[in-house]
Amino acid sequence: MEQYSILFRTLGGFMVALAILLSGSGLAHAAPGLSVAQRPPMGWSSWSSLRGSISATSIKAQALALHDNFQKYGYQYVNVDAEWNSGIDKYGRVTWDPKKFPDGIAPVAQYVHSLGLKFGIYLVPGIPAAAVAANSPIKGTSYHISDIADTSLPGNTANDSSAAIDYTKPGAAAYVQSQADILASWGVDYIKMDFVGPGGGVIAADNRVDIEHWHQAILGTGRPMHLELSNSLSFADASTWERYSNGWRITGDIECYSHCTGLTNFTVRVALRFADVPKWVPFAGPGHWNDLDSIEVGNGAANGLTPDERQTMLTLWSIESAPLLLGTDLTKLDPFDLTLLTNPEVIAVDQAGHPALPVSQATQQQVWFADNHDGSYTVALFNLANTPATVTATWSQLGITGPVTARNLWTHTNLGLQPASYSASLAPHASQLLRVVPS
Ligand SMILES: *[C@@H]1O[C@H](CO)[C@@H](O)[C@H](O)[C@H]1NC(C)=O
Ligand SMILES: *[C@@H]1O[C@H](CO)[C@@H](O)[C@H](O)[C@H]1NC(C)=O
C-alpha cells in the first residue's frame, strides 16, 4: 500500500507536470520561457541618457563600461533603443542609419557578444510608411506589402503613418518572420517592441495579434530572443501580454522630459509606480515580468534623484522583480550610485522573482512584503512623504508569526530578533529593505 501510494503520488505529480506542459498556455510559455527571462533581465538601455545620439562608437563605450563595472553582478543586456534606424531595406524592413552605424548592426552585436554580454534592439509593430509607398516584396514569398497592408488602420500607437498588417492575408506572417529573421541574423538577443496597443502612445492601435505573431516568429528563428513590450500596456489585456511576451511596461516613461528639470523626478515619476504596480503583480513570474522602466541611477544628482530617492527606486524595482535596465551614462559613474547598483543582496531580491504587495496604501508610510517560499520574507519600508516619519512593519499584519530575525540588505547588517514588529525613522522618500525569517 505504502509503495502504491508513493507511486501514485509520483505518477500524479508527473501527470500534472505533463498536463501543464501539453496545455495550450503551457506550450505558449514553454518555448521562449525555457531559455529567456527566467529571471528579470538586467543591463543597460540607450534611451534615457543618449536618446537619438547613438552610434556604434557610443554603444560600444557603454557596453565596455557595463562589462567593466556591472557584468559580474548579473547585468548582461546592452539595448539599443529608438532612432538607430533610417529607411527600409529591399524587403520593406527597417534598417540601420548609416551615419550612426556605418557598418550596420551585426558588428556592434558581435562586439557586445565578445565581452560576454547580450545585445538588444528596438522596433515598433506594423508596416513602415516607406514600405507601403515602395510596395516592397516580402522576402521568400511572391507577395508584396500591398497584399498584406491594411492602410485604414495604424500599425502601432506612434502616429508614424505606418499601416496595420492584415493577418488573414497570405504573406503577413512571412513578413513578420522576415523581420525576426534579420534581427536574429544580426545577433539580437532582446527586442523592445514600442508603441504597442492597446496602451499608451499617441493614437489608438490594437497590436495584440502582432505580438502573437512576433512570439511565433521569434520561435521560428530558432534564436532565443527576449520580447519586451512598451509602453503603458493595457491592463485588460494582461493575460495576452503574459502569454506572448517576456515583459511589458506597466506605465509611461520614467524620464521627465519637459515636466521637470532632471532626467527623472521622484514625485513626478518614480512615486507613481507605487500606485500602479500592485494590480499587475499576479501576472509576473518566470518568463514574463512587470517593467517599471529604466533605472535612473548612476550619475549622481544629475539624474534628478536624491541619494535616498535613488535607494528607494532600486528598492521598489527589486521587490517587484522588475527588469534592472540602467538608463544612465555608464561612462560617467558616480561612486555612491555604483555601490547602490551593485549591492548583491538587493540584486538577489530582484532576481529571486517574488513580486511584493503593500500591506496598505492608505498612508505614505508603507510596508511591502513578499513570501520567498523558502522560509524567509522580503519586507520593504517606505516613507513616501516629504517630511520625516517612522514606518513600522508589524509581523502579524504580514501573516508572519513572530518573533523574526531581520537583516538590513542595503547595509548588510543583522538586526537580531524582532519580537512583534520593526520600526525605522525614515527621511523624506527614504526606504529600508529587510529579509526576515520567523524564528
Ligand atoms: C497624427 O499625425 C498627423 C500628421 O501626420 C497630425 O495631423 C495629427 O494631429 C496627429 N495626431 C495626434 C493625436 O497627435
Ligand atoms: C521633483 O519635483 C518636485 C515637484 O516639482 C520638486 O519639488 C522637487 O524638488 C524635485 N526633486 C528634485 C530632487 O529635484
Q: Does residue 286 surpass a pLDDT of 80? A: yes
pLDDT, residue 20, reads 32
pLDDT for residue 12 is more than 80: no
Cα 237 from Cα 256, distance rounded (Å)? 27
Q: What is the CA(267)–ligand 2 centre distance, in A?
A: 7
Q: What average pLDDT does range 206-212 have in this prediction? A: 98
Per residue in 213-236, pLDDT tens?
Answer: 999 999 999 999 999 999 999 999
Closest approach atom of ligand 1 to CA 203? 13
Ligand closest to Cα of 269 equals 2
Q: Are 73 and 347 in contact (CB under 8 A)?
A: yes
Long-range pairs, 144-152, Cβ under 8 A, ≥24:
144/171, 145/92, 145/175, 147/171, 148/172, 148/175
Residue 5's pLDDT is what? 33
How far is the centre of ligand 1, averaged over its atoms, from the C-alpha of 155 (Å)? 14
Q: pLDDT tens across 142-159, in order?
A: 999 999 999 999 999 999
Residue 402 is predicted with a pLDDT of 86
Output 11 or 228, whichever has higher pLDDT. Answer: 228
Per-residue model confidence as pLDDT tens digits over 317-361: 999 999 999 999 999 999 999 999 999 999 999 999 999 999 999
Whether 26 shows a pLDDT value over 60: the answer reads no
Domain ranges of the chain: 2-355, 358-438
C-alpha cell at 341: 547598483
Of the listed ligands, the closest to the CA of 162 is 1
* pLDDT for 233: 98
CA distance 312 to 318: 10
The whole-number average pLDDT for the span 11-23 is 33
| pLDDT range class, residue 32, cuts 50, 70, 90 | very low
Is the Cβ–Cβ distance between 426 and 390 less than 8 Å?
yes
Q: Which ligand is nearest to the CA of 129?
A: 1
β-pair partners for 227: 191
Find the ligand nearest to 203 CA: 1
Topology classification of domain 358-438 = Immunoglobulin-like (2.60.40)
Rg (CA), the chain: 23
Residue type, 177: Q
Nearest Cα residue to 276 out of 314, 320, 307: 320
pLDDT at position 22:
32
User: pTM surpassing 0.95?
Assistant: no
Q: Which residues make Cβ contacts (< 8 Å) with residue 20, sequence separation at least 6?
A: 26
State the alpha helices, DSSP H only, in 222-305: 238-244, 272-276
Whole-number pLDDT of residue 1: 30
Distance of CA 436 to the CA centre of its chain: 27
Q: Is the CB of 159 within 6 Å of ligand 1?
A: yes
Nearest CA to ligand 1 atom 4: 159
How many of the other CB atoms lie within 10 Å of CB of 106? Answer: 16
CA distances, 373 to each of 335, 350, 354, 376, 420 (Å)? 35, 15, 9, 7, 21
Residue 193 confidence (pLDDT)? 98
Q: What is the whole-number distance in angstroms between the Cα of residue 204 and the centre of ligand 1?
A: 12
The model's pLDDT over 411-424, given as tens digits with 9 standing for 90+, comes to: 999 999 999 999 99
Start-to-end CA span in the chain (Å)? 37
- In this structure, which CATH number among 3.30.360.10, 3.20.20.70, 3.30.1330.10, 3.40.50.2000 belongs to the domain 2-355? 3.20.20.70
Q: Is the pLDDT of residue 178 over 70?
A: yes
Say yes or no to pLDDT of 23 above 90: no
Answer yes or no: is pLDDT of 438 > 60. Answer: yes
CA 197 to chain centre: 17
- What does the pLDDT read at residue 4? 31
Please compute the mean of the pLDDT values over residues 377-392 and round it to a whole number.
98
Q: Tell me, what's the pLDDT at 143?
A: 98
pLDDT class of 117 with cuts at 50, 70, 90: very high
Nearest alpha carbon, ligand 1 atom 10: 159
Task: Give the closest residue (by CA) to ligand 1 atom 1.
Answer: 159
**What long-range pairs does 145-149 form, CB within 8 A, spacing at least 24?**
145/92, 145/175, 147/171, 148/172, 148/175
179-188 mean pLDDT: 98
Q: Please check the confidence at residue 16 and state whether its pLDDT lies above 80.
A: no
Q: Which string of b and e fits 178-190 if b means at least 16 CB within 10 Å?
A: bbbbbbbebbbbb
Model pLDDT, residue 126: 98
- Whether the per-residue pLDDT at 184 is higher than 90: the answer is yes
Q: What is the position in ligand 1's atom list of the atom closest to the CA of 202?
A: 13
The whole-number pLDDT of residue 35 equals 83
Tell me, in angstroms, the distance from the centre of ligand 1 to residue 215's CA: 30
At position 137, the amino acid (one-letter code) is P
Taking 70 as the threshold, does the pLDDT of residue 31 lie above it? no
Return the closest-CA partner of residue 371 out of 438, 271, 304, 276.
Answer: 438
- Report pLDDT digits (tens) over 90-108: 999 999 999 999 999 999 9
Contact 398, 367 (CB under 8 A): yes
Contact 346, 42 (CB under 8 A): no
- What is the dihedral angle through the alpha carbons of 6, 7, 8, 10, rounded to the nearest 10 degrees? 80
Q: What mean pLDDT comes out for the span 97-122? A: 98
